[in-house]
Every structure is written in C-alpha cells, then in structure tokens.
Amino acid sequence: MNKTIAVIRGDGIGPEIVGETLGVLDAVAAKFGHTFTYREAPMGGCAIDAFGVPLPDSSLAACLASDSVLLGAVGGPKWDGQPAGNRPERGLLKLREAMGLYTNVRPARMFSDLSAACPLRPDIAAGGIDFVVVRELIGGMYFGRHTTWEENGELRAEDVCSYSEHEIRRVARVAFDMARKRRRRVTSIDKANVLDTSRLWRRTVTAVAEEYPDVELLHMYVDNAAMQIVRDPGQFDVIVTENLFGDILSDEASQITGSIGMIPSSSMGEGTRGMYEPIHGSAPDIAGQDKANPIGTVLAAAMMLRYSFDMAAEAAAVEAAVDGVLKEGWRCGDIMQGGGRPVGCREMGRLIREHI
C-alpha cells in the first residue's frame, strides 16, 4: 500500500521523537512491503519563527491532502509572549477544527513491565488499569467566545461553553462503538447538577444509548470521576466526556499508568484520516539532550496504522516490538527503575526498529 503522511515535528523534543518514529515506520514499510511518503508540515513555535504564524496555509494544505497526520508536540517558553491568537497551541486547535477532528481517544493501560511506575497503591492497581477516554475535541469552552474587558476599574474575562445535540451525539456514538469492541460499559462524565451544557450532554448521551442496548451506560459527575480514577480505576472501560473535562481527566488517567512519555492518542472525525500524537507536550526541559522517550509517539504511529490505514498486523508488530524492548529491560529516563538498562531517545528508537 502507498500512504502519504503529513509530518509535524513541532518544537522541543518533537523533532527527536518524530525522527525515531519515522524510522520505525520505515522498518514497518520494509517488512510489510508498503511505501510511506512523508510530507513536512511545520507547525507551532518553529512555524511562528519561519512564517510568522503557528499554522501556515501550506502546512494546513499538506495535512488536508495526506492520508493521515503524525504530530510530535508544539509550544515552549520562547513563544509564551505571543498574543493569544498566535500562540503555538492555536495552530493545533485550528488544525483540529479544519480537519473536523471531533473525537480524541486516549488509552490508559498499564504496561505489566512498568507496574512499579504506577503511582497508585499496589492493591488499587491490582484490579488492572485498562480503559479509554473518548473526549469531544472541537466544541465546548475551548471553542467558545473568549473575551477580556474592563469593568468598574478592573479586568473581567469570560469564556463561553456551548454544545449542540449533534456534537454530543457523534462523539457518544464513537464511545458506544468502542465499548462494543471492549467490555461494553460507557461512563459518561458531566456536571449536570450545575451546568446546562452538561444537562444537554446527559440527555443526549442517554438517548444515544437506546441504540446500544447491549452496552451499559453510567453517568458520573466530573468531580467524582476525578476521585474514582485514582480510587478504583478498574471500574472504567470507556469514558466519554466533553472537551474541558476530557482534557483534565485524560491527563490524570494517563499519569496513573506510569509515564506521560508512553501514552499515544488519536484524533478522528468522519472518514479514516486522523491525527496521531503522544499525549505529552514539547518537554522543553529535556529538548535536544537525547533524553526523550519516543514510545508515546511510536505507539501513536501504531494507532495510525490500525485506525487510518487498516493495517492491524503492522500495528501489532510495532506494539510487540515496544513490549519486547521493555521486557529486555531497556528504559528511557522517565520510566527508569532499579535494574533497568538506561537508553536515550535514539537508542530506544533503534531497539524498537531492530525488534520489528
């Protein structure tokens, strides 16, 4: 198969982790007889430096013309002083919107070889951690009106959160479809005791559930959910929630599995084209030092193979290679435990390629 992948290396550790991941994709192409063509699409701080804007039209066009998008991470202190509309993260929000990526899926799964990195008590983690967070991605407060104005001699600010039924319905269906391939339980998270958007969320998700009588639906308030994820993570199978709550809960969920450097995510809309990235940021504190863990990005590429290119065997080969490297004890700094064999980003990439 021939596939074109738009490549956004981004800022900080982005170029390092993406470079190793492309090497892994090349190994997959060689082994399985595919051709992957990479189209560079600068975005983030590096694009502000080169083009004056975080998402140049040429990069957006490259993403829209490709079969999928692989992203490292964007942002860093160098661009913190940019006006709100021109910050690196704006490029990401604009790209998600332009590609119609309304769903973000993040697995929270504990790797058995990394159970010592789990910050929860062993008796809590013993129940197993294996759930996914399905987050609405292009609605809610992040996409509402943002205003700051002066009133009575001081500044006042407002961010508007709104949702319509179709925005909730389509992401709910993604969650229910996913639950059918898993343990058939959806937990919908909202703040329906306070917010109108949450009451609409709850009503709409409940209506969608009628199309899925074989899937159990539970509702939970977001404050309780934040607590339950660390108290009893084994109760969750598929979590579905709105943009802001999902942003926070998915970070919490990934942290309890060990390292932020290990977790991939996919963003999808209609059709098969998606955007795949690790969940972490650009880690400016370790950029350029060969210290970054590339596994989150490598596993994001595996998700791309599975969900966008329908290459299940190829995805499984990548995941098995990562498991194999971990079993042999190789560890980047972020997942290092006593007795681990230390490696940097480049060597971790080489080991994964070797296993493929």
Neighbours of 193 (CB within 10 A): 9
SS3 of 170-215 = HHHHHHHHHHHCCCCEEEEEECCCCCHHHHHHHHHHHHHHCCCCCC
The DSSP string of 89-135 is HHHHHHHHHHTT--EEEEEEE--GGGGGG--S-HHHHTT--EEEEEE
Neighbours of 341 (CB within 10 A): 12
Q: Which stretch binds ligand NAD (CB under 6 A): 145-153, 194-202, 224-232, 278-286?
A: 278-286
Query: Among residues 15, 6, 23, which one has the least CA distance to residue 298?
Result: 23
Instruction: Closer to ligand NAD by CB, 17 or 25: give it.
Output: 17
How near is the Cβ of 283 to ligand NAD at its closest, in Å? Answer: 4
Q: Residues 5, 41, 63, 73: which binds ligand NAD (CB under 6 A)?
A: 73
Instruction: Closer to ligand NAD by CB, 198 or 293: give it.
Output: 293
Instruction: Closer to ligand NAD by CB, 179 or 299: give it.
Output: 299
Say how many Å lie between the first and final Cα of the chain, rounded. Answer: 18
Does 80 participate in catalysis according to the annotation? Answer: no
Shortest-Cβ-distance residue relative to ligand NAD: 281
Yes or no: say if 92 and 43 are a contact pair by the CB < 8 Å rule.
Answer: yes
Q: Residues 60, 63, 229, 292: which binds ligand NAD (CB under 6 A)?
A: 292
**Exposed (0-12), middle (13-18) or buried (19+): which is 35, by Cβ within 10 Å?**
exposed
Instruction: Closer to ligand NAD by CB, 68 or 204: give it.
Output: 68
Mapped onto helix, strand or coil, the DSSP state of residue 64 is helix
Q: Residues 282, 301, 311, 348: which binds ligand NAD (CB under 6 A)?
A: 282
Q: Residues 76, 258, 264, 274: which binds ligand NAD (CB under 6 A)?
A: 76
Q: Residues 26, 89, 130, 323: which binds ligand NAD (CB under 6 A)?
A: 89
Q: Of the listed 67, 102, 142, 237, which one is catalytic?
A: 142
Is 296 a binder of ligand NAD (CB under 6 A)? yes
Is 42 a binder of ligand NAD (CB under 6 A)? no
Q: Residue 311 phi/psi, 5° resolution?
A: -110, 75
Does 142 participate in catalysis according to the annotation? Answer: yes
Is 280 a binder of ligand NAD (CB under 6 A)? yes
Q: Which stretch binds ligand NAD (CB under 6 A): 70-78, 95-103, 160-168, 190-198?
A: 70-78
Is 283 a binder of ligand NAD (CB under 6 A)? yes
Is 246 a binder of ligand NAD (CB under 6 A)? no
Count of residues near ligand NAD by CB under 6 A: 22
Q: Residues 168, 281, 309, 343: which binds ligand NAD (CB under 6 A)?
A: 281
How near is the Cβ of 89 to ligand NAD at its closest, in Å? Answer: 6
Give Dmax over CA atoms of the chain in angstroms. Answer: 68
Bridge-based pairing of strands 35-40 and 2-10 is parallel
Q: Which stretch binds ligand NAD (CB under 6 A): 192-200, 221-229, 273-281, 307-315?
A: 273-281
Q: Of the listed 251, 290, 291, 323, which one is catalytic?
A: 251
Instruction: Closer to ligand NAD by CB, 56 or 281: give it.
Output: 281
**Exposed (0-12), middle (13-18) or buried (19+): which is 38, by Cβ within 10 Å?**
middle
CA-CA distance, 110 to 270, in Å (whole number)?
Answer: 30
Yes or no: say if 249 and 239 are a contact pair by the CB < 8 Å rule.
Answer: yes
Catalytic positions, written as ranges: 142, 191, 223, 247, 251
Contacts to ligand NAD by CB under 6 A = 13, 17, 73-76, 89, 92, 260-261, 277, 280-286, 292-293, 296, 334
